[in-house]
Chain A
Amino acid sequence: MKYLMKKILQYYLKYIAKLVLAIHRPTIIAIAGSTNKIFVKDEISKTLKEEGISVRSNPKSFNTEIGLPLAILNLPSGYNSYKNWLPVIPKAILKIFQFNFPKFLVLELGVSDPGDMRYLLTIIKPKIVVITDITQRYLEGFDGMNELVNEYELLVKKADKNGLAILNYDNQRIRKMANISKIKVQFFGLTDGADWQAVKIEKGSTGQSVTVKHNNIASEHKINKFGQHHVNALLIGLAVKHYLTC
């Protein structure tokens, strides 16, 4: 019974989300990877907002077959409570008639089992795709790393033909995805050869100072957070901004 209800809800939300996307036609930036999706999503949203671009991302990590439509529709989850789902269901319909729909949606795509990415790509057609990193996290659902990597490769293959793939140059498996990509690729990372390279990172008490090299031009940036994942998020944000504004 619970399974049936979940399936009904899943497809109900899916088709309303598809209808909303068809009506409002936002540009979709899709972020996938084993780690760091939420920080990258926040950084891209912040960067676009600073440019005065109308953008929306869900503050939660809604990135599954039910979560993704909720993120598109900007609705909360009822999680495991029937009662909590009740107000969500009619609100979904009302989203079809929403005014001021944002021009950009920044969405996370979560992959924990084979076929997850294929399903999520039946809901959205992203213009910009980001692969943050691929690690052994979530590997338990797959028959090995190749099968997991295939999921992410599918995202690069299915992106809008005029789009952009932003890929992690420090990860060999992700770097190789450029070979199968039919769209423009920009690499980020710490390694020489990345289009957006962090060449110097200095940690202070209030955050990190990062020197970024792009097209042999260096720029200085400050982040009030700690850790290399925030440096990567910065690089990805810069790549998105450059693509959309230059």
Chain B
Amino acid sequence: MFNRTKNLRLSVIKQMELRASRYPDVVSLAQGIPGFDTPECIKRRVELALKRGVVSKYSLSPGLPELRELIELSLARENMFYDWQKEIIVTAGAIEGITAAILAITEPGDEIIIPSPTYTSYREVINLAGCMPVYVSLDENRGWAFDLDKFEKAITEKTKAIFYCNPNNPTGTIYAKEQLLGLAKLAEKHNLFIICDEVYKDFIFDAEGAKPPRFASVNRGGLAPFSLGEVPELRKKVIRVFSFSKPYAMTGWRIGYLHSDESVVREILKVHDSLVTCAPVISQYAAMGALEMGERDLKKFVKDFKEHRDFACSRLDKLSHIFSYAKPNSAYYVFPSFAKALDGEPRPDSWKFALELLDKAQVAVVPGVAFGPNGEGHIRINFGRSKEDVGRAFDRMEEYFDKWKN
């Protein structure tokens, strides 16, 4: 019984949210929810679709043609050229696209390499497919960069894909172009797929400090990280995933997309059709609104998140007796390590640390181990929530940690 699910766990992030919900006055900086509501222009687009009576039926399995056409245009602006008719699938959020992709390209027993730390749900999806996640640790001392030798050493005969998130959740790292191209060489040499989840690509805070090759193109007035989806020669190897959840404050709408060469997408489509038939049509209209009119709101979100990032970092600096961290250049998370002991005890594991924080300070964060073994000794703080919430959480942490100053 339950053989398929016995090795699955409810995401640690959701576990923390569940625990946090028992504390009436908790401030949660755990789940990756932005603090904004969906922009008005998107809601208006949905209202129009509702009025026209076009949301009640299934769409074509890969999605509404007009949305996929917009996605092709959006990709072309980022130097990626994919045929909306055969190479783009609109998915029920990024995670459904990732699940469909992994189920399509793997067989049970295959291995998928993922960096550590990285997004917690990847492990579960890989397990669900009957595959084995193989963690490769990122180098914290180099701003959580790849170590390509470690990736090569992790490759076995069973390896089917390398799967990463760029910019990375939870560290906010933007992988350098040369590193990604190195990864692509490995993938070509060993005939592997590359799955890149780029849901935070729009949140780039600083150009300074970024080496020029790190940024491939200027995108809609902002900086965009380099994507392996831009390399035409890799189009049969790269499956790129995107979600509207983060950039347009649409986490509840469950809408995203993936793209790759038609030879790959054809197979993924069969799984997508089996899983969900099609992405929610009402959300597809919302996604159209986002692509047609959401640019102004997106820019505002990026500006606000940058302010939140600077605010959260300044508050972390006041807790330097507890935390040390690399300033994130993207996403809306900071991933500090806690170096000191609590209550004079030996340094706790990140679960214990997070639970203590929840119980004593009523601040919910995510224990770093949720993101892979290399995340141990860290917590993830979501600074994308409202500035008031972020401020209140740090007030409480300061008060709680104050007694450990000496």
Contacts and interface: CB of A to CB of B under 8 A. Distances in A.
Given A79-B293, A225-B76, A140 B83 contact: no
B81 A207 contact: yes
Nearest to A227: B83
B246 interface: no
A225 B232 CA distance: 10
Nearest to B69: A35
Nearest to B235: A205
11 contacts: A35-B66, A38-B73, A80-B41, A137-B66, A140-B52, A205-B232, A205-B233, A225-B83, A226-B86, A226-B262, A227-B86
Interface in A188-213: 205-207
Interface string B199-210: 000000000000
Contacts of B72: 227
Contacts of B82: 226
Interface of B: 40-41, 44, 52-54, 65-66, 69, 72-73, 76, 81-87, 232-233, 235-236, 262, 292-293, 296
A197 to B, nearest CB: 20
Nearest to B294: A79
Given A140-B52, A206-B232, A225-B76, A35 B44 contact: no
Chain A interface, >50% SS class: loop
B232 A140 contact: no
Given A80-B44, A140-B52, A35 B83 contact: no
Given A227-B83, A227-B84, 7 more contacts: A80-B41, A80-B44, A207-B81, A225-B83, A226-B86, A226-B87, A229-B85
Contact of B83 (A77, A80, A137, A226): A226
Contacts of A60: 292
Contacts of A84: 296
Given A38-B69, A205-B232, A205-B233, A225 B85 contact: no
A32 B292 CA distance: 19
Contacts of B84: 227, 229
A61 B86 CA distance: 22
Contact of A141 (B40, B52, B83, B292): B52
Contacts of B41: 79-81
B44 to A, nearest CB: 5
A15 to B, nearest CB: 25
A228 B233 CA distance: 20
Give the dominant DSSP class at B's interface: helix
Top 9 closest A-B pairs, CB basis?
A227-B83, A226-B83, A206-B232, A225-B81, A80-B44, A79-B293, A205-B232, A205-B233, A79-B41
A37 B197 CA distance: 30
A224 interface: yes
Contact of B81 (A79, A135, A137, A224): A224
Nearest to B236: A205
Contacts, number: 55
A207 B235 CA distance: 11
Contacts of B235: 205
A77 B82 CA distance: 28
Contacts of B52: 140-141
A226 B66 contact: no
Contacts of A206: 232-233
A229 B88 CA distance: 14
A129 B319 CA distance: 67
Contacts of A227: 72, 83-87
Contacts of A61: 292
Interface in A12-62: 35-36, 38, 60-61
Contacts of B40: 80-81
A84 B232 CA distance: 39
Given A79-B293, A80-B41, A227-B84, A137 B233 contact: no
Nearest to B76: A225
Contacts of A230: 83
B44 A140 contact: no
A229 B356 CA distance: 58
A224 B40 CA distance: 36
Contacts of A207: 81, 232
B49 to A, nearest CB: 10
A148 to B, nearest CB: 14
Contacts of B85: 227-229
Contacts of A229: 83-85
Nearest to A112: B52
Interface string A203-246: 00111000000000000000011111110000000000000000
B293 A226 contact: no
A140 B54 contact: yes
Contacts of B233: 205-206
A88 to B, nearest CB: 13
Nearest to A223: B81
A45 to B, nearest CB: 14
Contacts of A205: 232-233, 235-236
B76 A140 contact: no
A38 B73 CA distance: 9
A80 B292 CA distance: 12
B73 A226 contact: no
Contacts of A79: 41, 44, 293
B178 to A, nearest CB: 21
A141 B48 CA distance: 12
A35 B60 CA distance: 15
A80 B296 CA distance: 12
Nearest to B53: A140
A89 B72 CA distance: 32
Nearest to B233: A205
Contacts of A38: 69, 73
Contacts of A81: 40-41
Q: Which of A135, A137, A205, A224 lies at the interface centre, i.e. has the most chain B CB atoms within 10 A of its CB?
A: A205
B22 to A, nearest CB: 40
